[in-house]
Amino acid sequence: MMKKIWAAVCAAAMLMTGAALAETDVRVTALKGPTAMGMVELMNEAESGAVNGNAYDFTIASAVDEVSPKLVKGETDIAAVPANLAAVLYNNTEGQVEVLAVNTLGVLYIVESGDSVKSVEDLRGKTIYASGKGATPEYALNYILTENGIDPEKDVTIEWKSEHAECLAAPQDAIAVLPQPYVTAAGLKDDTLRVALDLTAEWNAIPKDSDAPSQLITGVVVARKAFIEENPEAVSAFMDSYAASVDFVNANIDEAAELVGKYEIVPAAVAQKAIPACNITFIAGGEMKQALSGYLSVLFEQNPKAVGGAMPGDDFYYAE
């Protein structure tokens, strides 16, 4: 809050003296997929010039290993990354990365061509095909199975594949864990494919009565600590603009899908059907800290390396 007040005071002082507001260069990197979709209206607006005093340079990366070095080397200021990677970066840089907001909740779904799965209990004794061992898909699936009384090692058979496409190349009646927008893209090619379970809903149902409830989280937006400290008003302006962009995407799916296609995040036809299931959001402040810390705790209990070896401190969570 103090950062916002200070930014407003500075802006008012400059206006009173007749001085022009200086633009701040802000470099933003996002991954192809849901974690970039919420930015598209801001990206589109930024093509016409500075937005709320920020002159943006957006980069859409194809893989996580393109993003991490940019943050570490100071080649990007803000980035949309997987939630657990944010914690890993925080630990690896000794606290030089802060998370600004949660931008994507869960995007994982259980799909099948048949009609055998109506609940988590129905997975007992089944073979499940999945991609993402050692990452969110494994941790989420293990957590949901375990909390529903199913031992991932004994009560189901999980076949880990290197790519999502391999999951769909399994037997006709296979059960698979797939993320959006891959679920939508696969469904457009195979109309027998059915979403059996929303793993976000299944995760959220587990701790709903807990004193420290968590949520299944896919992506967050982070910034370099040095950039935040040097440009508090620019970060505050970004937060406002990004929140407005997320609101636009969720309220104007057809227009947003065209922009998603324009920026080659995913094809527009896929985005048009996938956006409602991608759980694009903007959660900041105390709510963000509670949800994200709860999620990271679940991962830490399974494998500390998933969050960089230690739970992040309070300085990991950006507070305006």
Query: Does pLDDT of 293 surpass 80?
Result: yes
Residue 115: CB atoms within 10 Å: 9
Query: Does pLDDT of 252 surpass 90?
Result: yes
pLDDT recorded at residue 28: 96
Q: Could you give the CA distance from residue 320 to residue 127 in angstroms, rounded to a whole number?
A: 47
In what order do the strands lie in the sheet containing 194-198? Answer: 157-161, 127-131, 175-179, 108-112, 194-198
Query: Does pLDDT of 65 surpass 50?
Result: yes
Q: Which residues have CB under 8 Å from 76's CB, separation 6+?
A: 27, 28, 29, 59, 67, 70, 224
Helix ranges (H only) for the chain are 2-16, 34-37, 40-46, 64-72, 83-92, 136-147, 164-168, 182-189, 199-205, 225-230, 232-251, 253-262, 268-274, 285-302
For residue 166, what pLDDT band results from cuts at 50, 70 and 90? confident
Mean pLDDT across the chain: 88
Of 255, 243, 312, nearest in space to 283 by CA: 243
Give percent above pLDDT 90 in the chain.
68
Q: CB–CB of 318/99 below 8 Å?
A: yes
Backbone phi, psi, residue 175, to 5°: -110, 130
Query: Does pLDDT of 278 surpass 80?
Result: yes
pLDDT recorded at residue 13: 47
- What digits encode the pLDDT tens for the residues 9-62? 554 444 444 444 579 999 999 988 888 999 999 999 999 999 999 999 999 998
Least confident of 95-104, 177-186, 192-201, 211-220: 211-220
Q: Could you give the CA distance from residue 129 to residue 141 in angstroms, rounded to a whole number?
A: 11
Rg of the chain over Cα atoms, rounded to whole angstroms, equals: 20
pLDDT recorded at residue 210: 61
Residue 171: CB atoms within 10 Å: 9
Q: Could you give the CA distance from residue 183 to residue 190 in angstroms, rounded to a whole number?
A: 10
pLDDT recorded at residue 21: 55
Q: Could you give the CA distance from residue 22 to residue 59 in angstroms, rounded to a whole number?
A: 23
pLDDT recorded at residue 246: 97
Q: CB–CB of 100/235 below 8 Å?
A: yes
Q: Could you give the CA distance from residue 25 to residue 54 in angstroms, rounded to a whole number?
A: 6
Give percent above pLDDT 70 in the chain.
90
Of 198, 187, 161, nearest in space to 277 by CA: 198
Which DSSP symbol is given to 75? S
pLDDT recorded at residue 20: 47
Backbone phi, psi, residue 162, to 5°: -80, -25
